[in-house]
Chain A
Amino acid sequence: MIRRKVCYALLLVMFFTACNQQPDMNTEPGNSVYYWRTDLRLDSTERAFLHLYNINKVYCRYFDVVQNDTVAGPIPNATLTFNDTIPEGIEVIPTVYITEDCMHRWHRGLAEKLVRRIRQMNETNDIPNIREIQIDCDYTAKSRRTYYEFLDSVRSAWGGRVSTTIRLHQLSMPAPTVDYGVLMIYNTGNPNKFDERNPILDMRDVKPYLRYLSDYPLPLAAAYPVFSWLRTIHAVNVLHTVEADEILRVKHAVEQERPSLSAAIITYHLDKENINRYNPETYEEIYHH
């Protein structure tokens, strides 16, 4: 009898453990970076960074997809040139940014063309063992349905893992059917609005979306900004870089709402200048699980 009770108790514990299981356990825990340039070439600082912070994945932008007025349908743009390789042992996740206007209507065969191109880029440039691809799109209420159908087609054409970026404003929409999403915790402000807020990241812009986090049904990884916004002019003394404190404040706030967001962390994006912008302690804090 006692043995039976122990069994029940054990089952009960297992049941509650399962119920409390972090929603983002489907994302593979670890440290990652985005690589968002048109020329794959790493310098010694960047290589050291990958090693120092145990980066196990690089989300590598392969190309963009943009609307073209002179050609029927969207076309690739700014394709990555491979002049270097990602260090061995680090997984490469080909990432494609697709502009939102491409999703204003359905383009037959677009997903297949995109997947075929990624495969060919891998083959031509000897990038082996690609398991996953990621699609990045700032979809809106207008383009969401088409984009989700497009993601379904990408999954079916690819056959492996597919992830997508989720912007904060997209948290209020139904989730796409992909393996997981990367929550983009940056570009939160309106760069055309002239107020005191940092368009890259400001806690006040993040706060309204925190309430969606705990119930968002898709497993999520979190991406934080370490970049500067070179083109945006605000005022003479304002540089568009985010203070380390602000990044960490936001990280703590989102992890409070959804603790499992600390499992898989990505920084945007790998660049010597970004690495030098923050001290090692900041990176250690950002990558703290």
Chain B
Amino acid sequence: MAMDELTREFLIESQEGLDRMERCMTDLEERPKDGSLIGEIFRSVHTIKGTTGFLGFKRLEKLAHAGENLLGLLREGKLVADRPIITGLLQLLDGLRLILKSIEAESSEGDGEDTELIGRLEELQAPARALAMQAVQAKASPSPARPEQIPHEPVAAIAPSKPRPAPAPEPAELAPAAAEAEGDATKPRAAQAAAGAAADSTLRVDVALLNRMMNLVGELVLTRNQVLQATSADPNMTVLSRRLDMVTADLRESVMKARMQPVSNIFSKIPRIVRDLSLGLGRKVRLQVEGQDTELDKSLLEAIKDPLTHAVRNSLDHGIEPPEVRQAAGKDPEGTLKLRASQEGSHVVIEVSDDGAGIAVEKVRAKAVERGLISSERASGLGERELLQLIFLPGFSTAASVTNVSGRGVGMDVVRTNVEKIGGKVEIDSRPGKGTTLRMRIPLTLAIIPALIVRSLNQSFALPQGALFELVHIPEDEVKAAIEWMEGAPLYRLRGKLLPLVFLDRLLRPGGEYADFSKRDNFIAVLDADGRRFGLVVDGLADPEEIVVKPLSAVLKEIGLYSGATMLGNAELALILDPSAIALKAGISMSREEEGACAAEENGESDAAQSLEYLLVEVGGRQAAVPLKDVLRIEQLPISRIEYIGYRAVLNFEGQLLPVEDTGGVLGEAADNSATAEGSQRQIVVVVCREGQRHVGIAVSHVLDVVAGGDLFEAGTRARTGGVTLLKNRVTAVVDLSVVAPLPAVEEAHAEWAEAAV
């Protein structure tokens, strides 16, 4: 089915025009008098009409023509874009899209009938037709009718006789609209000129070519890795290979950038969905969109389109209440749906939040039990956050009835599966009566991923870092004691909890002979696969590497354990392991109850298990403990990064100020040595913790371990003591985070500045 260049060009252009039109359309609903919007829409349709006539697509031309007539009247201000008109225009948009799709697929317009739609579009012009006639009559009168004068009087005259009962636009409103439209007559030209300039500096590139470029860059990254490894010992090559390293990194970034598209490409479809659904469901919804310019790899953008639509549907159907209910609850009858995209490091976060009813956790509990997803005893023991996780289970739905919008129980699990398929994560947050927020974390790119290289069977395998939680080293002499067996099932006690183990060699060579694992060092990679946590036992670890994912042939994909292959820096091929497939194969399909428990552990909300765990640190020669649940991360940085506000040590972390507590005098000691150039590069360790809503840092000398602590009781009274805990049989002080004084708030700062200014 060969398509000539001209038609292809036309299709692309029309598609873009219609996308623009769709974006304008939803804006138009808010600002029906915006002449530039109408102008833009008019141009899109007009261009299509013009080109179709030339290419001989009669059906398309007829439809576009009908639309153009209506839009022409809008542009001249003889009509106001009220709801029925916008609905009509949206139908026109769909109609045009349908024909374009047919042209693309079959090179013909298809044999559908558009008379009904065209009729509707003509009907919408009816009042204007009357208006036009009036205008003609007015023209007949002596004044040399200057066009801009026409709207004023005739409109006033026509208003009472409007045949449509639609929310009649006030004549007073109409007049300025006309004036505006007329005033805008010069604008389109300027806009066109701007668009022309943009077109000159941009270029359409085939996605296939970009994919090829990405592959080649991947190749280059591999070669670079090999060159770096091969030349690391040769001082003469260091400068050259460093340069190669830099250029490769830059090139990779540029090619990746070329594949990036703003999320507005998919966000632009949402207003339409919101509009149609809120009309259908009888909701009043205001849509707020933020961070439209955030960019994401094209293929990933495609992949999150469906989950995003799903999430929006869910928010409208289950989240935002009908206006009466909202009013009764003392809320604005108009609900707000917020779409927000932002980049956080190597991830893009997309949030869909509503200010609706939130998720009724009790209902979730009841429903999950009713559907047999979880036992009632288990359910009664779950906290709020764990219950929220249940909505991601397949087959879950709280909707009492199945509507055509949602409630078929294939919603949230699909969202999660789709997002996880591309290496992302989904989180949900909900407050009853206040609203729900769904957060999707999407990696920026797919083709190159960070991975840990592990060894087993004398071969290298790559484990995606995304699934890796921690690594545990078991030295040879401890193996026997550390790995416990329960009826043939190997287990490891990870901070007091039993972790099921999978031996990679046994999994990959069932029934074969393996080296005796008790006579060697073992490494446990603690993995998380769809909420199932398990340990993968491997013989050895190599460096983490950024790997380029290469697809496997169908016959190897069928094995199910590998998600691809890659070439390592040492030119060895490595298979990329798929953690969830390993869990499945090894039978770590935990019962759903366990899954609940896992979720509980993950969320750190079931304090019973977690509050007993502490990060053991050394501060100025003494040991102290920080509750593990409060620890966000541990940063190692040069002392020069610490700055001072007065006497307060602060850390400027990604643009945010973090107060750093220095009870042990670690900073002071390090700062004393920092006078020398060498001293200023000295590394210090800051434990970043969560304290209520804020984050605080604690300067420590070393991080020692993570240990389970026991409560201490005062002799005689048996009262639980605060501030200390029993760690490794030593009484250890627990750092009280709440004593870290807050940083001066804005008002105070203002006051200080004011004083300083005086």
Do A and B actually bind? no
A contact set with B: CB distance below 8 Å: none
